[in-house]
Amino acid sequence: MMLYPAMNQLTANVPNRYLLVNVVARRARQIAQAAEDIGEKLEEKPVTLAIQEVADAKISVAAADVVIKDVEA
């Protein structure tokens, strides 16, 4: 089975697979919450959108940590 984006593309932006899972999960929750808050229906699943953001290097581990701290506070 061919997966897109490839794991090596994802780990280029987030070097640790376990950290990658955490970053994607937290970003997916943020995406889902934001869509719910404004009443928007997502065309893609939040996890798919979060993975694509990591693959496109739109979020980094450092940037994700800052955003995540704001959400949890």
pTM assigned to the model: 0.77
Q: Are 47 and 26 in contact (CB under 8 A)?
A: no
Rounded alpha-carbon distances, angstroms, from residue 25 to 1, 11, 21: 23, 15, 6
Q: What is the mean pLDDT of residues 58-71?
A: 60
Res 15: pLDDT: 83
Query: What is d(CA 46, CA 35) in angstroms, rounded to the nearest whole number?
Result: 9
Q: Look at residue 67 and tell me whether its pLDDT is greater than 70.
A: no
More confident residue, 73 or 70: 70
pLDDT digit string, tens, across residues 5-62: 888 888 888 888 888 898 899 999 999 999 999 999 999 999 999 999 999 988 877 6
